[in-house]
Amino acid sequence: MRYGVLSDIHGNLEALDAVLGALADERIDRYLCLGDIVGYGADPNACLERVSGLTTDVIAGNHDHAAIGRLDIATFNRYAAEAALWTRRQLTPAGRRYLGALPYTWRKDDLFAVHGSPANPEDWIYLTSLWLADEAFDAMPGDTVLCVLGHTHAPGIFEKQAAEDRSRQVPAAALELAPECRYIVNVGSVGQPRDGDPRAAYCVFDSAEKRVEIKRVDYDIETAQRKIRDAGLPEMLAERLEYGR
C-alpha cells in the first residue's frame, strides 16, 4: 500500500493542488490527511471540498476546531485568531459539520496518525524536542511501528530503537524502516511551511517496501498571497509564505 500523507493545508488551495498534482505521479493507493485543513489561507471551503472528495481518512487539527468554535482562540496569537474568526465566517454549514465529525486519531495495521502528538492528542502538543518525542513514542499504540503527524509545520523524522530508552532525530528526508525500530514522521505543512523552505511539504509511505519519504514541491505562492490580501486577512500571513516561516 502506498500512502500519500498531507498535513496542515491551512486553506492554501494553490499549495494543495501542487501537492495533489505531484502525488498523481506516485501510484498512491490511499490518501491520509492529518488535520488543519483550514485556518490562515483564503480558500477554506475549496480545500475542504478537495480533501473530502479525496479520502475519508482524515483527522482533526486544532485550527479545524478553532474554526468551528470548539477550541478557544485565546490560546492563539493575534494573526491565527483573526484568521480563525475569518474562517469561521466563511465555512458552509456542511463544512462545519464535516470538521466537527473528524476523529483525533487514525490507525491501520502498524500505521498510526495524529495531528500533534500521540501523547494526549486533544492537547495539541507541538513535538519540538527529543523529550517530547520520547513521550510520544511511549504513547503510540503498542503494536504500531510508524506514527505520522504534523502541527509544527517543520518536517522531520524521529527514530527509537527497541532496546533503547531515548529517541533520536534522523537527519534525512527519507529512510527505510528498520525492523528493530519505531518511527515518528512529521510530514511538514502543505500550506504554510515554517522550516525556511517555502515549498509545500508532503509524505509518501510505502508499507510494502517499508520506505518513508518527505517530499517538497513548488507552488504558485504569489496567487496564494494575493488571495490572502484580497480577503483582508493579516498581511503577515501572506508575507510568511514566501520565506517558509
User: Taking the CB of residue 236, how many other CB atoms lie within 10 A of it?
Assistant: 12
Instruction: Indicate the residue whose CB is closest to Zn ion.
Output: 36
Sheet holding 2-6, edge to edge: 30-33, 2-6, 200-206, 211-217, 174-176
Our CB check for Zn ion shows the closer of 8 and 195 to be 8
Smallest gap from Cβ 50 to Zn ion, in A, equals 17
Cα angle vertex 4, ends 13, 39, to 5°? 35
Stretch that binds Zn ion, among 36-44, 77-85, 121-129, 229-237 (CB under 5 A): 36-44
Is 195 a binding residue for Zn ion by CB under 5 A? The answer is: no
d(CA 90, CA 83): 11
Is 36 a binding residue for Zn ion by CB under 5 A? The answer is: yes
Residue 162, C-alpha cell as written in the block = 527497541
Our CB check for Zn ion shows the closer of 124 and 183 to be 124
Cβ contact 60:106 at 8 Å:
no
- Please work out the total of residues on this chain that contact Zn ion, with binding judged by CB under 5 A: 2
Is 64 a binding residue for Zn ion by CB under 5 A? The answer is: no
Q: Give the residue, chosen from 3, 5, 8, 58, that forms a contact with Zn ion under the rule CB under 5 A.
A: 8
Which positions from 133 through 152 interact with Zn ion, judged by CB under 5 A? none
Helices (H), 101-220: 130-139
Which residues contribute to the site for Zn ion (CB under 5 A)? 8, 36
